[in-house]
Amino acid sequence: MSRIYGVNLISRMSGAITDTIVSAIPKTTISGNKTQKRIDWIGEKFSSPENRLILGVSALMTQPFIDAQNKKVDEETRKVSVARTVAKIIAGTLTGYYVRAGCIKLIDEMTKLPSEVKNPNSFGGKLRMLFTPDDAKTGALKSLKKYKNALGTTISLVVMLFTNFLIDAPLTKYLTNLFTDKFIKPKDQKGGTVNE
Amino acid sequence: MSSASLFDAFKNYMAKNYGKSHGKMLIHTGVIGWILSAAAQVMAIVTNDKISYKQKMYLIPQELADAAVNIVSFYLITQTFKSVSTKAVNCGKLLNKPVREFLEKNNIKNVGKKTFDVLRDGKLPADLTEKFESFRNGVDFIGTTAGSILSCNIVTPIIRNEIATHKQKNHIAKMEEYNISVANPARNYFEKPSIQSFQAKAYSSSLKI
């Protein structure tokens, strides 16, 4: 009950903030042809893999510096924390991007309209229409590309259930140790643990 | 319900809920992604022999706080950014030139008001509806991504580090307290006297037998 109340409260707060900000925004028209085209292009081409890539690149530009500025912990811990943050961003961004992009590509191949398939009744034909929703077949769903992106991203979550443990975490561990050995540990400490 | 109809229901649910909105899907999948990632990362820290215990006491709470703060800030900040960008376009505060010109030319009233909806009240022709939707998607993506950068890459690291520092200090204080108690165990209430303490008491001036 209290959890539902909490979610409602956050939702209402967010709604009130949104209304206040929107009413404060002056009427704006994007008139530049180039800017308009760029915004349209982003809306058309970009989806969750690109979002993950942008987040990863911007994370590399901010998070290690925020960790390095945390003077409340000792220097060794701070340095290991920076190494782990960089390792985690690299591993997470690479796997996140490729898993999402791969799943969206796979869904794209298996969400064809009947008109795009040579033999719709054959096994191969049925496989290529496996994820095609009824609305798309009847023409009611205009934005099939967004549906494919959303479904591909959802499927990628299931895949990431495994890759998080099989690729992300071991790669983060490997890179953390690599960065720690190369850039943090003094030469005489190599082989042991830091600050043991 | 058969598995085939369940599968159809799933496909139609996805098409209905996410078929038109990029931002909504990015938020929902992002939240689940953080939880899965945090679980894997905690496992990686725990099993990393090259990280000392003291550093693990900082890194594990840091990772857990990262996931928790990310989810809250994602809903508060990213959702707000997404809602503001979508609402600003939907009510006509932020528009591209062809749509604005059409609305002004046709003397459509209340453009930019909270209750106005460009698609519902603007009576746009099909080609402009398409242009409006791709513009809205672009703004939606930019808003959601900007909100994500602010919440995940700036707000979350600052807060998670504060939480992790606090947790590490608490752990260290508890460990030191434990070490002191092991080194100097508290005396039992009915402590058995040693022979030395008995002799010292017996031959002191205060105890006469």
- Give the ranges where chain B is alpha helix by DSSP (H): 3-18, 22-46, 53-73, 79-90, 97-105, 118-121, 126-150, 156-183, 195-202
Nearest chain B Cα distance for residue A71, angstroms = 10
* pLDDT for A40 beyond 50: yes
The pLDDT tens digits along chain B (209 residues) read: 566 677 777 777 766 666 666 556 666 776 777 788 888 889 888 888 888 888 888 899 888 998 889 888 888 888 889 889 999 999 999 999 999 999 999 988 888 888 899 999 988 998 899 889 889 989 999 999 999 999 999 999 999 999 989 888 888 888 888 877 777 765 555 556 666 666 666 666 555 54
Chain-chain contact of B22 with A149 (C-beta, under 8 angstroms): yes
Closest partner residue to B50 among A63, A165, A193, by Cβ? Answer: A193
Q: Is B98 exposed, middle or buried (0-12, 13-18, 19+ CB in 10 A)?
A: middle
Nearest residue in chain B measured CA to CA from A131: B11
pLDDT at A59: 95
pLDDT at B191: 58
pLDDT band (50, 70, 90) for residue A191:
very low
Distance CA A24, CA A26 (A): 6
Asked if A149 reaches chain B (Cβ–Cβ under 8 Å), the answer is yes
Closest partner residue to A176 among B48, B93, B135, by Cβ? Answer: B48
* pLDDT for A9 beyond 80: no
Q: What is the pLDDT of residues B65-110, one digit of tens each?
A: 988 898 888 888 888 898 899 999 999 999 999 999 999 999 888 8
Distance CA B38, CA A14 (A): 26
* pLDDT for A80 beyond 60: yes
Nearest chain A Cα distance for residue B208, angstroms = 55
> What ipTM was predicted for this assembly?
0.79
Nearest residue in chain B measured CA to CA from A92: B37
Closest CA to A83 of A192, A189, A187, A172: A172
Chain-chain contact of A22 with B96 (C-beta, under 8 angstroms): no
pLDDT at A98: 95
DSSP string, B29-59: HHHHHHHHHHHHHHHHHHT-TTS-HHHHHHH
pLDDT band (50, 70, 90) for residue A166:
very high
pLDDT at A86: 95
* pLDDT for A134 beyond 90: no
Residue B94 φ/ψ, nearest 5 degrees? -120, 115
pLDDT band (50, 70, 90) for residue A155:
confident
Distance CA A63, CA B154 (A): 7
Percent of chain A at pLDDT > 70 equals 86
For residue A28, the surrounding DSSP H or E stretch is: strand A28-30
Residue in A51, A142, A149, A175 to test binding to B, most B beta-carbons within 10 Å = A51
Chain-chain contact of A154 with B93 (C-beta, under 8 angstroms): no
Asked if A67 reaches chain B (Cβ–Cβ under 8 Å), the answer is yes
For range A98-114, the mean pLDDT: 91
A·B CB contacts under 8 A? 232
SS3 content of chain A, % helix, strand, coil (to 5): 75, 0, 20
Average pLDDT of chain A to the nearest whole number: 83
pLDDT band (50, 70, 90) for residue A10:
low
Chain-chain contact of A43 with B134 (C-beta, under 8 angstroms): yes
Q: Please state the pTM of the whole predicted model.
A: 0.75
Percent of chain B at pLDDT > 90 equals 25
B10 or A172, greater pLDDT: A172
Closest partner residue to B11 among A67, A131, A146, by Cβ? Answer: A131
Contacts 24+ apart (CB under 8 A), A58-67: A58/B149, A58/B153, A59/A89, A59/A93, A59/B152, A59/B153, A60/A86, A60/A89, A60/A90, A61/B153, A62/B153, A62/B154, A62/B157, A63/A89, A63/B153, A63/B157, A66/B154, A66/B157, A66/B158, A66/B161, A67/B157, A67/B161
Nearest chain A Cα distance for residue B101, angstroms = 9
